[in-house]
Amino acid sequence: MSRRRRTGRAGWNTLAVGIFVVMVFPVFWMISTAFKSDDEIVSYTPTWFSLHPTIAHFRAAIHAPFFWPDVRNSLIIVGATVGISIALSFLAAVALAKYRFGGRKLFIVLVIGIQMLPQAGLIIPLYVVLARYHQVNALTGVIVTYMTFALPFCVWTLRGFIINIPRELEEAAMVDGNTRLGAFLKILLPLAAPGLVATSVFAFITSWNEYIFARVLLSDQGKQTLTVWLSYFLGSSRHTDWGALMAGSTLTAIPVLIFFLLIQRRIAFGLTAGAVKG
Amino acid sequence: MAETEGAAVAAGAWPRRRRRLTAGRFFRASVPYALILPVLVAIGAVLGYPLYNLVRLSFQHYGLFELIQHKGQAVGLRNFSSILHDGIFWHTLVRTVVFTAVNVCLTMAIGTAVALLLVRVSTWARLLLTSGLVLVWATPAVVAVQVWIWMTNFQNGIVNYTLTRLHIGNYSEHDWYATTFSQLGLATTLIVWGAVPFVAISVYAALAQVPRDLEEAAEIDGARPWRVFRDVTLPILRPVLLILTSLSIIWDFGVFTQPYLLIGQGHIHPGNYLMGIYLFEEGYIKTEFGRGAAISLLMLAMVALLSVVYVRKMVRLGDEE
Amino acid sequence: MRHRVVAAAAVAVLLGLVAATASASPQRAQANKLTVWLQVDAQSGWPDIVAAANQQFQKDHPGYTVDVQYQNWTDHLQKFDATLAGGNSPDVIEMGNTEMTKYMAAGAFSPLDKSSFDNAPQWLSGLAKSGAYGGKTYGVPYYAGSRVATYRTDLFKKAGIKKLPATLAELTADAKKLAAKNKGKGFSPVYFGGEDWYVAMAFVYDFGGTIARTHSGKWVGALDSPQAVKGLTAYKNFFLASSRASKTNDSTNPNPYDVYAQGNAGVIIGPSWFSCCVGVKYKTATAQFVLPGHVKGQALPGFLGGSDLAVPVTSKSASLGADWIKDFTGTSAERALQAKGNIPNATNLLGSSINERAAARSWFVPTAKHWVDVENGNILKNMLGQILTGKLTVKQAAASASDNITSVLNGS
């Protein structure tokens, strides 16, 4: 590598670190507060991080009522939502991106239109429908609701990623003359992998962090999600336990990070050009 | 895909197949419908009736009393006309359009820049920055709002403290929620902060599908970085950028959670309403569900209008196959 | 990759099935279950009293279980609206007493037989009013809290304040003494937010004014009356002389007790339970007194905030709901609540704790069905912000707020 390249790269690296620090600061602040004692949190002069960190807040958060059941609920709801949504929307995205069919424009309008609806406006009509089928206060009701809002977005985004795939790559693999659908899926899946990952991470995060519908649909504290569990630290008209709230928030963010770390390899951090060579 | 088939036929590859498979052709033609069927069923089953209900509600007077009776009073277009004659609606609309424009521009510009940066850095820096982005993205909106409120605390917030220490000005005991501009400015920083990771990672994923050779070839030829970006990278990124922009417009126009919780119930008033908040206040807090439904439909129309340019381009891009 | 995708899809479907079975249970035994919505304050403050009421109820109605679901103040009304629409409301719900009128006027609750509840004839009048509409009783007062001053005994001693202030003028003078002896950065002799309307309106009522009154069936905003203007002016002077809190914020952020715990406040104004959270350092140097009015011997009227319990009209077990309320607001339960620092619901139960002494002179918001819209529209808060920042004079701000209140309360 040339020297100019190396110093250029060093410059970019420094910039990256700088951006990292600025972006992550609020998260750092949240985690740092979670380790501070109550006195330090409240003090007039803020401190960057605690000199005597304490895990009391984490202990309080984990022992808050219904923590583990709500973790389980969140995992179930989000896992099912993401899994089913990605599978279904990939199929629909392939159809939109690669086929010409009557009613295509209508389908696109539907997909985009639903995303344009203010979700808040649908709370009560949706609740009434779900109540009729006993899906209120049920995990399946929430899964079905989340899927409905995730699907249009996933279809729309995946379509973009699939269109983005250079044609040469597709046609290169088409020569074998398989039935179109099978070939498509076998070829498109790996090529669209980065897009699938980005979309599923987004679907995961949006569902994991969703609050309003989970709050309205789930009354039993044993059935609620982690975001609703978090809100109990704030809803009292009495003392707000900031330390426990920040600790609880940190705990809530962990599964998302794990999920991402597990699948991040597919976004090809290393080489990207390998697909076209040869 | 028809072209590929046509080309293949022209090349004499599958003439016999064409004649033989009439039933097969029907099968093949129905493939796309089969692919979109699951999604249609899922969406239709859940949202079908609520959407119908929403439209019907918008033509009714449906307050708390009617909610309990499960029966509304039909009032025709009165909800729509009362909203359209309400000065607050128009002021809110203008404010929201400006707010959306600022947020979308900042999000897309910063997100794309970060994605371009990710391509150019060493692996360790890439991993670090991406982990940071995911960490930001993973923070629930309700939590981020609390952290923001905490950081901008009038008395002992870290923001006031740091700005004063850095001698940028006397921010000791500065109330960040005193003016509408300040409130919406804070909301903008929160929303852009939360939205950049998704844009950056998506654009990076799109860049990852692009051969770096093309860019490097252009750079070696002596083209300046900006031209390389504009002529080589941008065209390839176009579809993804269009989607992200259209999605950002849709989300930022109707954003509710962040500004509502950040500005707080104690400071929200018609002078700093955004459309999402206006809907919630008029529809839910005042329990005027008919009016709320009408506002929802109007918002849908507005957003459709705002994003039609991008959506059209998106659809047409797909058609250029 | 293919296999991984299939595996992932299989897992997703499996999770969906797990979810379906996990939620299959609630439909059983609905006929023998009572659903009660209480606020989280009960969950963290007095779960034992709730358990006692449940036990009593189950003894009287064998075969029944009570499912208490705790709610947040921020969104419990939106949830309640959804259940009213969906037809599965709880059998008992706790409502803030300022929230009651709107729902009573909409017919959301079943009428209750007032005489069947303990101590009903002696219910505190301010509380009882919030549960009555059109001559019928819909809400049973559950508990209340007033506002007191929590202060640093050591700082008072250091500043040479020998006796507790008996009038507002004395309190203001004491604040000046505290300021003189505590010149540290960020110290506020009295800490309360400028837009804390609970404190501000207390001044209005102390001077004989009121927020709104009825006149031939319509509501009329009354903040522009001479007495109210006097009260607001007194409030402005008091704030500017003694509080360094933000003029455009109320007392929620930062919390007064957090400022107190920093050592940056001599006196804080708020509910009596503030003393729980003053920090370890100043716990022993903390005491409370009743805020004085501007006339010697009269306390500053305290806002009687509290909760009522009601039975939603869509409940299928209305009489059972009423029975549970009876158990939860019976004399023994009220005594237990009182022991936890709350004000019980009846005058014959009143003791002489600081909280209850402060409640001797109280004020309440106009019992109009659109009152919540005034609160949610932040009309009072905006008025106070304009007054304190000097954007408008007291008279101008009061007049504009008054007009606003008139139009909102009359439902336009």
pLDDT digits (tens, 9 = 90+) for B111-122: 999 998 998 888
Total structural domains within chain C:
2
Per-residue pLDDT tens digits for C15-42: 666 666 554 444 444 568 899 999 988 8
Q: Cα C48 from chain centroid?
A: 22
Residue C392, token pair as written in the block:
């408008």
Distance from CA of A94 to the nearest CA of B (A): 8
Residue C288 lies in a domain: yes
A-chain CB neighbours of C82 within 8 Å are: 123-124, 127, 216
Residue of B nearest to C104 (CA): B65
Same domain for C372 and C341 = no
Distance from CA of B86 to the nearest CA of A (A): 19
Same domain for C258 and C153 = yes
For C186, the closest of B155, B270, B285 (CB atoms) is B155
Q: How many CB pairs under 8 A join A and C?
A: 137
Residue B96 DSSP SS3:
helix
> For C268-283, what is the mean pLDDT?
85
Same domain for C215 and C342 = no
Per-residue pLDDT tens digits for C176-191: 999 999 988 889 999 9
Percent of chain C clearing pLDDT 70 (strictly above): 92
User: Counting beta carbons within 10 angstroms of the beta carbon of residue A22, is it exposed (0 to 12), middle (13 to 18) or buried (19 or more)?
Assistant: exposed
Q: What is the structure's pLDDT at B201?
A: 85
Cα–Cα distance for residue pair C272/B180, rounded to 1 Å: 34
For C88, the closest of A136, A185, A234 (CB atoms) is A136
Residue of C nearest to B173 (CA): C246
A-chain CB neighbours of C11 within 8 Å are: 79, 83
Mutate to test the interface with A, among B143, B148, B207, B305 (most CBs of A within 10 A): B143
Q: What is the structure's pLDDT at B261?
A: 87
For C44, the closest of A124, A140, A236 (CB atoms) is A236
Residue A19 DSSP SS3:
helix
Residue A142, token pair as written in the block:
């929430």
Query: DSSP letters of B102-141?
Result: HHHHHHHHHHHHHHHHHHHS-HHHHHHHHHHHHHHHHS-H
Q: What is the structure's pLDDT at B6?
A: 45
Neighbours of C411 (CB within 10 A): 11
Cα–Cα distance for residue pair C256/C279, rounded to 1 Å: 12
CB B287 within 8 A of CB B67: yes
Residue C15 lies in a domain: no
Q: Cα C4 from chain centroid?
A: 55
Give me the domain span that covers residue C330.
Answer: 33-146+305-363
User: Counting beta carbons within 10 angstroms of the beta carbon of residue C83, is it exposed (0 to 12), middle (13 to 18) or buried (19 or more)?
Assistant: buried
Residue C159 lies in a domain: yes
For C378, the closest of B267, B284, B286 (CB atoms) is B267
Residue C317 lies in a domain: yes
CB C91 within 8 A of CB C35: yes
Distance from CA of A110 to the nearest CA of C (A): 25
Distance from CA of C274 to the nearest CA of A (A): 8
Do residue B286 and residue C373 have CB atoms under 8 angstroms apart?
yes
Residue C208 lies in a domain: yes
b/e per residue B114-151 (b: at least 16 CB within 10 A): bbbbbbbbeeebbebbbbbbbbbbbbbbbbbbbbbbbb
Do residue C81 and residue A193 have CB atoms under 8 angstroms apart?
no
Q: What is the structure's pLDDT at C281?
A: 86
Neighbours of chain B (3+ CB pairs under 8 A): A, C
The chain-wide mean pLDDT, for chain B, equals: 83
Mutate to test the interface with C, among A41, A42, A136, A158 (most CBs of C within 10 A): A42
- Nearest Cα residue to C339 out of C323, C355, C327, C326: C355
Residue C245 lies in a domain: yes
Mutate to test the interface with A, among C4, C5, C15, C21 (most CBs of A within 10 A): C15
Cα–Cα distance for residue pair B141/B153, rounded to 1 Å: 18
Cα–Cα distance for residue pair B160/B176, rounded to 1 Å: 9
Residue C81, token pair as written in the block:
């609206």
Percent of chain B clearing pLDDT 90 (strictly above): 31
For C40, the closest of A43, A124, A232 (CB atoms) is A232
Cα–Cα distance for residue pair C257/C192, rounded to 1 Å: 10
Cα–Cα distance for residue pair C35/C21, rounded to 1 Å: 22
Distance from CA of A249 to the nearest CA of B (A): 6
Q: What is the structure's pLDDT at B318?
A: 59
For B147, the closest of A29, A148, A231 (CB atoms) is A29
Q: What is the structure's pLDDT at A269?
A: 37
Same domain for C292 and C155 = yes
CB A89 within 8 A of CB A154: yes
Residue C11, token pair as written in the block:
């897992």
Cα–Cα distance for residue pair B314/B308, rounded to 1 Å: 10
Q: What is the structure's pLDDT at A105?
A: 83
- Nearest Cα residue to B266 out of C94, C194, C402: C194
Which secondary-structure segment (H or E) carries C220?
strand C218-221
B90 near A CB under 8 A: no
Q: Is the pLDDT of residue C309 over 80?
A: yes
> For B2-13, what is the mean pLDDT?
45
Percent of chain B clearing pLDDT 70 (strictly above): 88
Binding-site residues on chain C for chain B (CB distance < 8 A): 74, 78, 81, 84-85, 87, 102-103, 105-108, 185-186, 195, 244-250, 252-254, 259, 262, 264, 313-314, 372-373, 376-378, 381-382
Distance from CA of C372 to the nearest CA of A (A): 17
Do residue B146 and residue A249 have CB atoms under 8 angstroms apart?
yes
Residue B30, token pair as written in the block:
């129905």
- Model confidence, pTM: 0.84
Per-residue pLDDT tens digits for B181-202: 999 999 999 999 999 998 998 8
Cα–Cα distance for residue pair B295/B283, rounded to 1 Å: 8
Q: CA torsion angle for C233, C238, C241, C242 (degrees, to 10)?
A: -150
**β-bridge pairing C147-152 and B60-61:** unpaired
Distance from CA of B179 to the nearest CA of A (A): 23
Cα–Cα distance for residue pair C105/B162, rounded to 1 Å: 51
- Residue where the block lists tokens 């979109």: B36
Percent of chain C clearing pLDDT 90 (strictly above): 54
Neighbours of C88 (CB within 10 A): 20
- Nearest Cα residue to C148 out of C311, C274, C333, C9: C274
Which secondary-structure segment (H or E) carries B16?
helix B15-20
Same domain for C280 and C180 = yes
Q: What is the structure's pLDDT at C20?
A: 60
Do residue C249 and residue B266 have CB atoms under 8 angstroms apart?
yes
Distance from CA of A202 to the nearest CA of B (A): 7
C-chain CB neighbours of B287 within 8 Å are: 81, 102, 106
Neighbours of B163 (CB within 10 A): 16
Same domain for C237 and C384 = yes
Same domain for C192 and C263 = yes
Cα–Cα distance for residue pair A190/A267, rounded to 1 Å: 11
Angle at A94 (CA atoms; ends A90, A96), nearest 5 degrees: 115
Lowest mean pLDDT among B153-167, B246-260, B267-281, C159-173: B153-167
Do residue B47 and residue A99 have CB atoms under 8 angstroms apart?
no
B139 near C CB under 8 A: no
Do residue C381 and residue B266 have CB atoms under 8 angstroms apart?
yes
Lowest mean pLDDT among B290-294, B314-318, C18-22: C18-22
> For B84-106, what is the mean pLDDT?
95
List the 88-107 stretch of A: residues with Cβ below 8 A of B. Answer: 88-89, 91-92, 94-101, 104-105, 107
Same domain for C269 and C213 = yes
Q: What is the structure's pLDDT at B212?
A: 67
Q: Is the pLDDT of residue B275 over 70?
A: yes
Per-residue pLDDT tens digits for C190-224: 999 999 999 999 999 999 999 999 998 899 999 99
Q: Cα C40 from chain centroid?
A: 13
- Nearest Cα residue to A30 out of C41, B165, B193, B127: B193
**pLDDT range class, residue B30, cuts 50, 70, 90:** confident
List the CATH number of the domain containing C387: 3.40.190.10
**pLDDT range class, residue C307, cuts 50, 70, 90:** very high
Q: Cα B198 from chain centroid?
A: 10
Residue C263 lies in a domain: yes
Same domain for C265 and C163 = yes
Same domain for C151 and C74 = no
Q: Which residues are bridge partners to C191 per DSSP?
A: C268
A189 near B CB under 8 A: no
Mutate to test the interface with C, among B49, B66, B149, B154 (most CBs of C within 10 A): B154
Q: Is the pLDDT of residue C145 over 70?
A: yes
Per-residue pLDDT tens digits for C321-372: 999 999 999 999 999 998 888 888 888 888 888 888 888 788 888 888 899 8
Written as tens digits, the pLDDT of chain A (278 aa) is 566 666 778 888 999 999 999 999 999 999 898 998 887 887 888 888 778 888 999 998 999 888 999 999 999 999 999 999 999 999 898 888 877 888 888 888 888 888 888 888 888 888 888 888 888 888 999 999 999 999 998 998 888 778 767 777 667 666 655 556 666 677 777 777 778 887 888 888 889 888 889 988 888 888 899 888 888 887 666 667 888 888 988 888 888 778 777 776 655 432 232 233 22
Q: What is the structure's pLDDT at C139?
A: 94
Q: What is the structure's pLDDT at A116?
A: 85
Residue C2 lies in a domain: no
Distance from CA of A4 to the nearest CA of B (A): 13
Residue B288 DSSP SS3:
coil
Residue B77 DSSP SS3:
coil
Same domain for C235 and C96 = no
Q: What is the structure's pLDDT at B165?
A: 85
Q: What is the structure's pLDDT at A271?
A: 29
Query: DSSP letters of C102-157?
Result: HHHHTT-B--B-GGGSTTGGGB-HHHHHHTEETTEE-EEEEEEE-EEEEEEHHHHH
Q: Which residue has the higher pLDDT, C244 or B319?
A: C244
CA atoms within 13 A on the CB side of C95: 31
Phi, psi of A113 (to 5 degrees): -60, -40
Q: Cα C54 from chain centroid?
A: 25
CB A146 within 8 A of CB A218: no
Distance from CA of C86 to the nearest CA of A (A): 5
Cα–Cα distance for residue pair C50/C34, rounded to 1 Å: 14
Q: Is the pLDDT of residue B35 over 90?
A: no
Same domain for C282 and C224 = yes
CB B64 within 8 A of CB C108: yes
Q: What is the structure's pLDDT at C360?
A: 79
